Amino acid sequence: MNRIKKGDQVIVTAGKDKGKKGDVVRVLGDKVVVSNINIIKRHTKPNPQANQPGGVIEREAPIHISNVMLFNPASGKGERIGFKVLEDGRKLRVFRSSGEAVDA
């Protein structure tokens, strides 16, 4: 089970976008794509078959998972994640500082 999942709100802890918040769009192994974070300019050729125009396109690039922390709305800060195993065998993500469940 990953500590960070699609749809989580995270805060960036390192890099040019340090301190910014965003939602996780995709998880790619040990990297995540966060909305409006790590924006790059991509020069693309037009592709008539895909009905895609050419030009300079801005999009999000992946950022390493170690450079983001899950945002805790209760404390207003990024916090570390731990796991708690329930009686029925399911794993639950919890904030390490408070012990409260992430996906309540």
Q: What are 60's two structure tokens?
A: 């999000």
pLDDT of residue 103: 75
pLDDT of residue 72: 93
Question: What sign does the CA torsion over 9, 14, 16, 18 have?
Answer: positive
User: Do 62 and 33 touch, CB atoms closer than 8 A?
Assistant: yes
Question: If pLDDT is split at 50, 70 and 90, which confidence band does 45 have?
Answer: very high
Q: From CA 100, how far away is CA 81, in angstroms rounded? A: 10
Work out the average pLDDT over 53-62.
Answer: 95
User: Which structural domains are found in the chain, ordered by start?
Assistant: 8-73 (2.30.30.30)
pLDDT of residue 104: 55
